[in-house]
Amino acid sequence: MIQQTDFFFEGGRSGVLLIHGLTGTPMEMRLLGKGLNRAGFTVHGMQLAGHCGNAEDLLATGWHDWYASVEKAADEMLGKVDHLFVGGLSMGALLALKLAADRPQQVAGVGVYGATFRYDGWSIPWLARLSFLLPLLKKLGIGRNRSFMEQPPYGIRDERLRAQVSTAMLSGDSAAAGLPGNPWYSLAEMYGLAAEVRSQLPQVTAPCLVAHASEDDVASLKNAELVMREVSAPAELLLLKDSYHMITIDKERRTLIDRSAAFFDNIAAGNGIQRVAA
């Protein structure tokens, strides 16, 4: 049974559409959403198709379904705001970049948070690093009921928060903390999305705030460097030194909120964004 956990915070005429990651939940974007709303933005934390249910619910969808739900949410948001910004975490960052590539006239700026083109962070077991082969296994019909189980530290450096999230996730409350494992076929879909988005990066012309944990346990810095190198947009790099993959909820979330709000405000005010690293 899929639970609806998306959120909407009314604010000004600049809006931010927030997109969670694969097997995740809008809850992982809620603190960022509240912070952006306090800064004056209208915020919608959307829910991707097939998420916040069980593994079968997720397996019934693919990346085209996930992206269709992003487009639908963007269309709804465009009726409420003058400037549309989009921010995503992990796979959500890829979906945000795709929206910017496909709709250059509509997306004013992008928050690229912990972009994950490959699972190559330091906590990923060697077997899981071969997950780029999963599209081939899916094509051969192998491993539909297999999953890669999440590993400590679960993308969270804050030990107290990690304990709370892992308890919720392992208890089966996927609406609160996401699924405890990544189904092989869903990962295969994500790699299909990653290949598509990688080819589209030069089409991204909206300014990008590329935020990434310098010690990301799930997706190495190479993922952020790829975005910085390939997009045609002005891009700003924000390295977070006291966080792991889930930067929207980890120790430096306030820094992420403040930098995101300032970045989007600057664009809405019509100020140019330079290509800088910080």
Which pLDDT tens digit goes with each residue over 176-194?
667 878 898 999 999 999 9
Average pLDDT over residues 110-118: 97
Looking at residue 174, its pLDDT comes to 67
Tell me the one-letter amino acid at 121.
G
What would the two tokens of residue 132 be? 């780029």
Which pLDDT tens digit goes with each residue over 42-86?
999 999 999 988 899 999 999 999 999 999 999 999 999 999 999
Q: Are 21 and 92 in contact (CB under 8 A)?
A: yes
- State the burial class of residue 278 (Cβ atoms within 10 Å of its Cβ: 0-12, 13-18, 19+): exposed
Query: In whole angstroms, what is the distance from residue 208 CA to residue 204 CA?
Result: 9
* Percentage of residues in the chain having pLDDT higher than 70: 95
What would the two tokens of residue 5 be? 């956990």
How much is the pTM? 0.93
Q: Are 113 and 24 in contact (CB under 8 A)?
A: no
Looking at residue 178, its pLDDT comes to 73
Looking at residue 218, its pLDDT comes to 94
